[in-house]
């Protein structure tokens, strides 16, 4: 009896085994290695962490990384949510094309898209040429290698993810609910604010979190289009690895991982308190 | 309580979607306080008519009036109607109380009054004390009651119901039919009910507009619609019936008539109007029994006329006559007045 029950449980969970094995081999084991690398250098010590949290160079970059990630995620939310709203409002047969247009950039390598921004924002780039030609400016502006260019490129790269996440959350909402609100006496904006918005916030927050996570790990974009001061934690880790400082690089990687997890947990906690989730009963 | 009830008038309303005509010069006058049902198969235009009345859709031509006011160009929130949706459409992120309070909040009713009116309405639908629950924590019938409460709480002069009971199982549906009748009596609101279920329409309505292909085929009280259908379509849609074609002489004589009624293309014979008892019939004919089925309160007989036409007969189980055997030829009759001549 017990034997067959165990067998049944095993049978039920069996399909999970390949995925678990993959996560274990490709994620858990490397992270454990990184952790070991960070605290044994060569014997147990928290020296790397101590160095990170006591030197203002590193702390500045650390806060900058958090700030840039949160800002990029928020800008994506402010642009992506209305975009998704627009697509959901379109007739059903036109939506696939619009979604396709949103997704096309995702199929291009981040590297290619980042270099494309150099073509657009460079001294002799499209923007400067156009402004010079129309006579609005008489000297090329510095658009490349600025904090602004980092934001522009990161938002452009990550925006499709926000649009798609918001879109799928919005399509889950029964359009009858908005009709019901209207017939109950709510003008269009009130129906949106009281019914549609609360029901789509959960999805919007998921999009924000995904983009925040991805931003925290960015290093190609700031390296290619950013200025000297636009350094993210990812860049520092790459630098340390290039200098074979494995221990310190590992410590920073752990800080990055823990910060991301803690921050998202906080966001979830606040969301659970204030947002409606379709899963709760 | 019933301070507001308004007549509703559809005046030559047409609505087409491309080349498809959903409503075709639709005219209907609904009296204040009347319970009217738009009944018809899917695609008959009943939902289009309701959507135009609610403000979710616009007529291609024609006008809709609520009371004396032409509402065709008004958005839904300015029409002051209540509506119960097929899918309930309760706001899942709000409590039962907030769902019911929503129309009052949108009308700017003051807080203390909201509380009082919501609680009174929840009481009326027998959901007192459920205010703090979320819709997801309610059963289907309870959700329907909340939807009903939300639709009537602001006491709109017109209440619209779109297939409002079809998502529920039979027993619950009958229970809620009772409740809707009671609420209609108490509120006195004009109700426009849309359904494809003829049984529901017969139970609830003061009048039924039977629709097909964007037009009203017959507008009558449930009794008249059942007893005096004007066409084959109506006779067939309302209840069960036997249609005996009158253009073929063999069927005419097979049901015991010497000639077809004037201008009739067919005769509608309700199964329960056929009888084997000679003193309750003035027209008699012979038929062969093909099948006998027990249905609880009635026995259903499948008969075949001499002309080859199949007939259904429904007999109360009085036990006065012994059941015929399959293959037996029996004498069946009906009262001449119970047969309805159909002219189209």
CATH (domain of B133): 3.40.50.300
**A280, pLDDT greater than 50:** no
| Distance between CA atoms of residues A225 and B174, nearest Å | 69
Phi/psi of residue B295, nearest 5 degrees: -125, 25
**B305, pLDDT greater than 70:** yes
Q: Each residue of B289-303: pLDDT tens digit?
A: 999 988 888 889 999
Q: What is the mean pLDDT of residues A13-18?
A: 86
Does residue B219 share a domain with residue B103?
Answer: yes
Here the CATH number for the domain that contains residue B334 is: 2.40.50.100
Does residue B251 share a domain with residue B187?
Answer: no
Identify whether the C-beta of residue B81 lies closer than 8 Å to the C-beta of residue B72.
Answer: no
Instruction: Kindly provide the ipTM of the predicted complex, given to two decimals.
Output: 0.82
Does residue B208 share a domain with residue B261?
Answer: no
Identify whether the C-beta of residue B98 lies closer than 8 Å to the C-beta of residue B83.
Answer: no
* Domain containing residue B320: 242-342
- B91 Cβ partners below 8 Å, 6+ apart? A177, A180, A181, A194, A195, B98, B99, B102, B135
| Distance between CA atoms of residues A251 and A241, nearest Å | 11
Q: What is the mean pLDDT of residues B21-35?
A: 93
Q: Which of B227, B259, B284 is the last residue of a domain?
A: B227
Q: Is B77 close to A183, i.e. CB distance below 8 A?
A: yes
DSSP state of A27: I
Q: Which of B227, B254, B280 is the last residue of a domain?
A: B227
If you count residue pairs, one on A and one on B, with CB atoms under 8 Å apart, how many are there?
70
- Domain annotation covers residue B2: no
**A1, pLDDT greater than 70:** no
DSSP state of B229: -
Tokens encoding B104? 């009052």
Does residue B273 share a domain with residue B223?
Answer: no
Does residue B269 share a domain with residue B125?
Answer: no
**A222, pLDDT greater than 70:** yes
Q: Which residues share a beta bridge with A146?
A: none
Residue A196's pLDDT is 95
- Domain annotation covers residue B232: no
Q: What is the mean pLDDT of residues A160-170?
A: 95
Name the band, by pLDDT with cuts 50, 70 and 90, for residue A81. Answer: very high
Nearest CA to B260 out of B251, B273, B270 is that of: B251
* Prediction pTM value: 0.81
Q: Is B55 close to A281, i.e. CB distance below 8 A?
A: no
- Domain annotation covers residue B326: yes
Does residue B151 share a domain with residue B257?
Answer: no
Residue A113's pLDDT is 87
More confident residue, B281 or B241: B241
- Domain annotation covers residue B148: yes
Query: What domains lie within chain A, and their CATH numbers?
Result: 56-274 (1.10.3720.10)
Select from B134, B150, B160 the Cβ nearest to the Cβ of A281.
B134
More confident residue, B322 or B135: B135
- Domain annotation covers residue B300: yes
Does residue B221 share a domain with residue B247?
Answer: no
- Domain annotation covers residue B235: no
**B143, pLDDT greater than 60:** yes
**A38, pLDDT greater than 90:** no
- Domain annotation covers residue B336: yes
Q: What is the mean pLDDT of chain A?
A: 89
Does residue B173 share a domain with residue B207?
Answer: yes
Q: Which of B227, B256, B279 is the last residue of a domain?
A: B227
Tokens encoding B254? 């097979």
- Domain annotation covers residue B236: no
Name the band, by pLDDT with cuts 50, 70 and 90, for residue A4. Answer: low
Q: Is A180 close to B55, i.e. CB distance below 8 A?
A: no
Does residue B274 share a domain with residue B213?
Answer: no
B106: which chain A residues are within 8 Å (Cβ-Cβ)?
A: 184-186, 190
| Distance between CA atoms of residues A68 and B50, nearest Å | 52
| A105 at B interface, C-beta within 8 A | no
Domain count, chain B: 2
Nearest CA to A195 out of B84, B99, B80 is that of: B99
- A82 Cβ partners below 8 Å, 6+ apart? none
Identify whether the C-beta of residue B266 lies closer than 8 Å to the C-beta of residue B246.
Answer: yes
Residue of A nearest to B77 (CA): A185
Q: Each residue of A236-275: pLDDT tens digit?
A: 999 999 998 888 999 999 999 999 999 999 988 888 887 7
Question: Of all residues in chain B, what percent carry a pLDDT higher than 90?
Answer: 52
Does residue B272 share a domain with residue B222?
Answer: no
Does residue B163 share a domain with residue B55?
Answer: yes
DSSP state of A184: T
Instruction: Compute CA A114 distance to the chain's CA centroid, rounded to the nearest angstrom.
Output: 16
Does residue B207 share a domain with residue B69?
Answer: yes
- A194 Cβ partners below 8 Å, 6+ apart? A181, A186, B91, B102
Tokens encoding B170? 């039979």
């Amino acid at each position: 009896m017990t034997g067959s029950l165990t067998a049944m449980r095993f049978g039920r969970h069996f399909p999970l085994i390949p995925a678990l094995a993959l996560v274990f081999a490709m994620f858990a084991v490397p992270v454990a290695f990184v952790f070991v690398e960070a605290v044994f250098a060569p014997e147990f010590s928290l020296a790397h962490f101590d160095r990170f949290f006591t030197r203002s160079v590193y702390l500045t970059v650390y806060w900058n990384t958090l700030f840039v990630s949160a800002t990029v995620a928020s800008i994506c939310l402010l642009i992506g949510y209305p975009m998704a709203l627009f697509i959901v409002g379109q007739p059903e047969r036109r939506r696939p094309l619009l979604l396709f247009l949103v997704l096309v950039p995702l199929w291009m390598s981040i590297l290619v898209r980042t270099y494309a921004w150099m073509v657009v924002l460079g001294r002799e780039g499209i923007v400067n040429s156009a402004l010079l030609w129309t006579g609005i400016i008489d000297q090329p502006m510095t658009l490349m290698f600025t904090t602004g260019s980092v934001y522009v490129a990161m938002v452009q790269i990550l925006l499709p993810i926000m649009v798609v996440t918001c879109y799928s959350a919005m399509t889950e909402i029964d359009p009858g609910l908005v009709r019901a609100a209207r017939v109950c006496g709510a003008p269009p904006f009130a129906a949106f604010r009281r019914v549609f918005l609360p029901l789509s916030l959960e999805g919007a927050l998921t999009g924000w979190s995904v983009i925040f996570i991805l931003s925290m790990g960015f290093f190609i974009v700031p390296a290619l289009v950013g200025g000297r001061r636009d350094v993210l934690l990812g860049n520092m880790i790459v630098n340390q690895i290039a200098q074979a400082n494995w221990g310190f690089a590992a410590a920073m990687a752990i800080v990055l991982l823990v910060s991301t997890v803690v921050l998202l947990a906080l966001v979830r906690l606040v969301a659970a308190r204030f947002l409606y989730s379709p899963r709760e009963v | 309580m019933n301070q507001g009830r308004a007549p509703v008038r559809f005046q030559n309303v047409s609505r087409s979607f491309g080349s498809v005509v959903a409503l075709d010069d639709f005219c209907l006058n609904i009296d204040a306080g009347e319970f009217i049902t738009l009944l018809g198969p899917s695609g008959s235009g009943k939902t289009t008519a309701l959507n135009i009345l609610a403000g979710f859709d616009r007529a291609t031509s024609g006008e809709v009036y609520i009371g004396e006011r032409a509402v065709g160009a008004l958005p839904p929130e300015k029409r002051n109607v209540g509506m119960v949706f097929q899918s309930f459409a309760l706001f899942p992120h709000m409590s039962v109380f907030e769902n019911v309070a929503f129309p009052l909040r949108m009308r700017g009713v003051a807080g203390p009054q909201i509380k009082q009116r919501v609680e009174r309405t929840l009481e009326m639908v027998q959901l007192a004390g459920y205010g703090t629950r979320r819709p997801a924590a309610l059963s289907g019938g309870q959700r329907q009651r909340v939807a009903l409460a939300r639709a009537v709480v602001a006491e709109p002069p017109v209440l619209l119901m779109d297939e409002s009971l079809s998502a529920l199982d039979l027993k619950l549906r009958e229970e809620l039919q009772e409740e809707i009748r009671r609420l209609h009596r108490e509120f006195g609101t004009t109700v426009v009910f849309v359904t494809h279920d003829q049984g529901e329409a017969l139970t609830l309505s003061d009048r039924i507009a039977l629709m097909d292909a964007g037009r009203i085929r017959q507008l009558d009280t449930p009794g008249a619609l059942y007893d005096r259908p004007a066409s084959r379509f109506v006779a067939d849609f309302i209840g069960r019936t036997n249609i005996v074609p009158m253009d073929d002489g063999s069927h005419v004589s097979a049901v015991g008539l010497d000639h077809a009624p004037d201008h009739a293309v067919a005769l509608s014979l309700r199964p329960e109007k056929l009888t084997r008892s000679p003193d309750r019939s003035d027209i008699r004919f012979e038929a062969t029994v093909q099948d006998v089925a027990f249905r609880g309160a009635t026995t259903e007989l499948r008969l075949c006329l001499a002309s080859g036409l199949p007939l259904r007969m429904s007999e109360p189980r009085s036990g006065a006559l012994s059941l015929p055997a399959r293959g037996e030829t029996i004498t069946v009759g009906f009262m001449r007045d119970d047969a309805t001549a159909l002219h189209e």
